[in-house]
Each structure stands twice: as structure tokens, then as C-alpha cells.
Amino acid sequence: MTVDKDYRNTVCCPVLEDVEKKKQDLEDEIKQNLSRTKIIYNKVRERGSIYHEKFAKIYNDKCAYCGALWGLLPTESFEIDHYINEASFPDTTEGRIKAGRMENLVWSCTSCNRGKRGITIKAPYDELLNVDNGNIAAVFERDGDYYIRIRSTYQNDEFIRRFYEALHLNYETKRLDYMALQLERKYQTEKDEKKKHILGESLSLLLKRRNRISS
Ligand SMILES: [Zn+2]
């Protein structure tokens, strides 16, 4: 699917590429190194572990739902999301293996992940909201003030609205995360020391405000 612009990215952000393939490769790697692994989720969830970091890299360290950057927020602000929530699977070992398979795991900020917990994604929404292939960018967009909005095609779709609200995609914090990301990229590439300093100050003020709102 081609969309004019992925709301999760600023102009400086690299787009997600071959996410499904990279996830498969990581799964193969885990299974090869840890041959007794049944539930992949347990191997990538652990903060500070190599597989946790490799998993984040597949998503360019950004929340697959809102685009917030891991590096700009506290480490514990991110976790592994079950795309189809665990409640949709039987409460058995087999069910947990299925829920925790690599294909069903997504890199997410805690705000999106926890908000999404009570939402059960069923067909056709599983394809429509697919974050790995970018389909979700055809459902939401970024408005002129950097807020995430539902695209006009889906304005009257009740499930999409519920999903949007549950993940707090309309929140000020999601807007500030985007602005921070934009500032950070400008800061990184600015050559002029004075301008760089101002950008750095602005970024730290913005992040302070963001963290005040979210706490
Ligand atoms: Zn998020």
C-alpha cells in the first residue's frame, strides 16, 4: 500500500523496511542460539537483553503505533506489544506460544501498548491496522498542528475510533513526541554551534513539558 506520508515519521526518519523478514530472521537467530525456546515473547521482552535491542532496531527504535522515539523517552517507556492481544488466545501453553510468536509482536511505547490491551483486533482490521507493512498509515495522518488524526475515509468507522481513543493517539503527548523527534533530528545535523545550542535548549524544554503532562 502506498500512502502520501507515514504519520509516524518526520521527513528525517528512515522508513520501516522489511519488518516481517527482519522479525523472521531474529526469530531464527533466537531459536538457533536458545534451542529450547518456545515462547519468543519471553526472549525479546527482557529489557537490556540483546534480543530486546535487536527487536527495537527492526522498528528504528520507534513506537510502531505513534512513532515516539525510544531514545528521547525513559528506557522503561517502551515494551513489547502483542498485536492480537493475549486475551484472544486460549489460556494454555499452546495459546501462549501462539500469542508470543514473533509475527504477533510489535515494538510499542507503554502508552500505546497499555491503552490497546482491551482491544481485540479481528479481520479486516488486522490487515488494515498492520504496522509492520505500513498499512496503518492509510488509516491515520498527522495534521498541520502535528496531532494524529483519523483519515476522512475512516471517520465514521466505530472500531477505528475506539482504537484511536484507546491508544490515546489524539493526546498532546503524542504530538509533543513528534515535535521532539523533529527537533532532535535538526539538532543532530546542525553545524552552527549557536543554533545547535538553541535547538538543544528547545528540545530539553519540550521534553520537560511532555513529561510533566504524562506524569
Ligand atoms: Zn506509541
**Is 161 part of a structural domain of the chain?**
yes
Q: What is the DSSP letter of 15?
A: P
Report the separation in Å between the CA atom of 169 and the middle of ligand 1, taken as the mean of its atom positions: 8
pTM of the model: 0.93
Report the separation in Å between the CA atom of 184 and the middle of ligand 1, taken as the mean of its atom positions: 18
Cell of 79: 515494551
**Is 197 part of a structural domain of the chain?**
no
Residues within 5 Å of ion ligand 1, judged at the Cβ atom: 63, 65-66, 68, 109, 112
Q: What is the DSSP letter of 149?
A: E
* Rounded distance between C-alpha atoms, residue 53 and residue 151, angstroms: 32
Q: What is the helix (H) or strand (E) element at residue 80, kind and residue range?
A: strand 78-82
**Is 43 part of a structural domain of the chain?**
yes
Number of structural domains the chain divides into: 1
Segments forming the whole domain that contains residue 128: 19-171
Per-residue burial over 53-70, b if 16 or more Cβ lie within 10 Å, else e, is: eebbebbbebbbbbbbbb
pLDDT digits (tens, 9 = 90+) for 4-63: 689 999 888 888 999 999 999 999 999 999 999 999 999 999 999 999 999 999 999 999
**Is 179 part of a structural domain of the chain?**
no
Report the separation in Å between the CA atom of 198 and the middle of ligand 1, taken as the mean of its atom positions: 27
Cell of 91: 489460556
